């Protein structure tokens, strides 16, 4: 049962990711990326990370892709579809990408023989996922949590400075 | 349903969600397909225009987007992430007590600096004054 | 129970697809989309390890990665927009000078 769903979601994620990098129309690419995010969120659910699955849909598929769509509207004019979409070294690049994928898969596969099975009574899913997640976030990871707010502040100021120039023009 | 749940109980709560998605997607595809089979197909230019009984379109619909929408979208993304951080905090509020409250106030306080910066810079003004 | 190696292979495949996208495409927006695929592949690895090593730290790091992705998208797309305003193009082949 779980096997079936895993293969369904994994195949969906990989196929839609392939479509993201192969479609001509930028808007289609962005929409297939949303589909990839949904499949990855489904795999997160299989891994008992329900909270992250929700955040994945909210933040990635909801917010970040909205931003991408805005930029595509801002930037995309029909004639950009006509120009050549790929570099000359396309085949070399594809071969290198494939090689890298095989390498990473080989290394990961080789090193991960050890913890093949799950220890009994996993505390990861013991209480609600969100609750145990929150406890860890607000106690052990308190400092990174506060630093994240500084990161968001920096991003906000940077983006406003960059975009403000365009508004004033 | 019971057969579905027997093999794997941990995913049990998600079976309705999955069925919902499957039914929704199938409904959309099947409806479009049946409509394509049944409907007559007799196009003429008037019918193909975007608004059959309205003003003729003046220019291409893919006009460049107004950049002011974009800055709002940026602020939305960053505050959306903040909201995602608020969620586990809200779930745990009873347990964390005053300590958690102060933590979150520091977090929100730092982000408010960005909010006031955007405000002062006029990023939130829809029309520039003067 | 799906073994850990299956999850890792999926994430390796996604990561390689992201790398291929960055190398092959010339449109800066699609390069950005490919970077998001790579971030997602790494997130998947973190969550898989967090499940199989039975520790929540992996999931929390994924949450931080998502935050960084949001910040990166905001600033990166602002840069793309201003490049587009200057050059009328988002083709990375034509953005090879650091001066405006």
Question: Which of the residues A11, A15, A20 would you substitute to probe the C interface, choosing the one with the greatest number of C C-beta atoms within 10 Å?
Answer: A20
In degrees to the nearest 10, what's the CA dihedral of B107, C81, C33, C65? -20
Q: CB-based contact (8 Å) between A149 and chain B?
A: yes
Of the candidates C84, B21, B47, the one whose C-alpha atom is nearest the C-alpha of residue A8 is B21
In angstroms, the CA A24 to CA A76 distance is 12
Cα A83 versus chain centre, distance: 28
Q: What is the pLDDT of residue B6?
A: 46
Number of structural domains in chain C: 1
- Domain assignment present for C56: yes
Contact B117/A157 with Cβ under 8 angstroms?
yes
Interface test with A, best of C7, C24, C46, C66 (most A CBs within 10 A): C24
Per CB-CB distance under 8 Å, the chain C contacts of B117 are none
Give the C-alpha separation, C84 to C95, whole Å: 10
- The percent of chain C in helix, strand and coil, each rounded to the nearest 5, is 80, 5, 15
Query: A126 at the B interface (CB within 8 A)?
Result: no
Q: Which of B64, B75, B78 is the mutation pick for testing C, counting most C CBs within 10 A?
A: B78
Q: Is C55 touching A (CB cutoff 8 A)?
A: yes
pLDDT band at C78; cut points 50, 70, 90:
confident
Interchain CB distance below 8 Å, A80 and C79: no
Give contacts of C 61-100 with A, CB under 8 A. 62-64, 66-75, 77-82, 84-85, 89-91, 93
Hey, are the CB atoms on B80 and C70 less than 8 Å from each other? Answer: yes
Average pLDDT score over residue span C48-77: 89
Q: Are B78 and C74 within 8 A, CB to CB?
A: yes
C27 three-class SS: strand
Q: Find, among C21, C64, C36, the residue nearest to A33 by Cα.
A: C36
Q: Is the pTM of this model over 0.95?
A: no
Q: Which of these ranges, B36-50, C48-62, C67-81, has the smallest mean pLDDT? A: B36-50
Bridge partners, residue C27, by sequence: C91
Q: Which of residues 49-78 of C touch B (CB under 8 A)?
A: 63, 66-67, 70-71, 73-74, 77-78
User: Is the CB of residue B62 less than 8 Å away from at least one CB of chain A?
Assistant: yes
pLDDT classification of C33: cutoffs 50, 70, 90? very high
Phi and psi angles of residue A86, each rounded to the nearest 5 degrees, phi first: -125, 160
Instruction: Find the domain containing C65 and state its range.
Output: 4-90
Domains of chain B, residue spans: 1-61, 64-130
Q: Indicate the angle between helix axes A26-46 and A65-75, nearest 10 degrees.
A: 170
Does the beta-carbon distance from C29 to A148 stay under 8 Å? Answer: no
Q: Which residue has the higher pLDDT, B15 or A9?
A: A9
Q: Does B11 touch chain A (CB under 8 A)?
A: yes
Q: Rounded to the nearest 10 degrees, what angle do helices A2-22 and A26-46 cross at?
A: 160
Tokens of A77: 């004019």
For B49-103, how does the pLDDT look when each residue is reduced to its tens digit (9 = 90+)?
A: 766 676 666 665 555 556 777 888 888 888 899 888 898 888 888 888 888 889 8
- Radius of gyration, CA atoms only, chain B: 26
Fold of A1-95: 1.20.120
For A92, A131, B8, B41, the CA distances from A120, given in Å and listed in that order, are: 47, 20, 16, 62
Query: Among all chains, which residue has been given the structure tokens 């479609």?
Result: A23
Residue B69's pLDDT is what? 78
CB atoms closer than 10 angstroms to residue B61 = 6
Q: What is the full per-residue pLDDT of chain A (169 aa) written as tens digits?
A: 778 889 999 999 999 999 998 888 888 899 999 999 999 999 998 888 888 898 999 988 888 998 888 888 877 655 545 555 566 677 777 888 888 888 877 777 766 555 555 544 345 555 567 788 888 888 888 888 889 999 999 999 988 888 777 666 6
pLDDT confidence bin for B127, thresholds 50/70/90: low
C29 occurs within a structural domain: yes
Cα gap A128→A73, rounded to integer Å = 40
* Residue contact C67–B67, C-beta within 8 A: no
Domain positions in chain A: 1-95, 127-169
Question: For chain B, how many residues are written?
Answer: 130
Selecting from 3.40.710.10, 2.102.10.10, 2.60.40.420, 1.20.58.1610, what CATH number does the domain B64-130 have? Answer: 1.20.58.1610
Domain containing residue C76: CATH number: 1.10.287.3510
DSSP C56: T
* CA C6 – CA B104 distance, rounded (Å): 38
Interface predicted TM-score of the whole assembly (ipTM), two decimals: 0.89
């Amino acid at each position: 049962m779980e096997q079936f769903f895993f293969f369904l979601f994994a195949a969906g994620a990989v196929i839609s990711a392939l479509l993201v990098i192969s479609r001509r129309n930028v808007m289609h690419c962005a929409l297939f990326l949303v589909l990839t995010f949904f499949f990855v969120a489904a795999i997160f659910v299989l891994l008992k990370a329900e909270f992250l699955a929700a955040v994945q849909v909210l933040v990635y598929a909801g917010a970040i892709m909205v931003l991408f769509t805005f930029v595509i509207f801002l930037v995309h004019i029909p004639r950009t579809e006509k120009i050549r979409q790929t570099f000359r070294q396309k085949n070399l690049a594809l071969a290198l990408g494939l090689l890298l994928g095989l390498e990473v898969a080989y290394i990961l596969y080789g090193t991960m023989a050890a913890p093949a099975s799950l220890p009994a009574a996993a505390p990861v899913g013991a209480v609600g996922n969100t609750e145990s997640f929150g406890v860890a976030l607000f106690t052990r990871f308190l400092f990174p949590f506060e630093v994240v707010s500084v990161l968001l502040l920096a991003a906000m100021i940077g983006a406003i400075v960059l975009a403000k120039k365009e508004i004033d023009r | 349903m019971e057969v579905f749940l027997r093999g794997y109980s941990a995913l049990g709560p998600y079976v309705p969600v999955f069925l919902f998605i499957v039914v929704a997607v199938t409904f959309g595809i099947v409806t479009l397909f049946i409509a394509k089979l049944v409907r007559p197909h007799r196009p003429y230019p008037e019918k193909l225009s975007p608004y059959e009984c309205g003003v003729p379109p003046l220019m291409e619909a893919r006009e460049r987007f107004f950049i002011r929408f974009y800055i709002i979208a940026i602020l939305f993304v960053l505050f959306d992430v903040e909201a995602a951080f608020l969620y586990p905090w809200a779930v745990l509020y009873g347990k964390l007590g005053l300590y958690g409250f102060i933590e979150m106030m520091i977090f929100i306080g730092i982000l408010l600096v960005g909010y006031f910066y955007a405000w002062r810079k006029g990023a939130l003004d829809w029309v520039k004054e003067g | 129970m799906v073994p850990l190696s299956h999850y890792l292979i999926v994430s390796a495949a996604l990561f390689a697809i992201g790398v291929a996208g960055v190398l092959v495409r010339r449109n800066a927006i699609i390069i950005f989309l490919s970077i998001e695929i790579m971030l997602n592949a790494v997130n998947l690895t973190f969550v898989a390890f967090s499940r199989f090593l039975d520790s929540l730290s992996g999931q929390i790091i994924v949450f931080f990665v998502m935050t960084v992705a949001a910040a990166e998208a905001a600033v990166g797309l602002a840069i793309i927009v201003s490049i587009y305003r200057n050059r009328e193009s988002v083709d990375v082949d034509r953005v090879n000078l650091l001066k405006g």
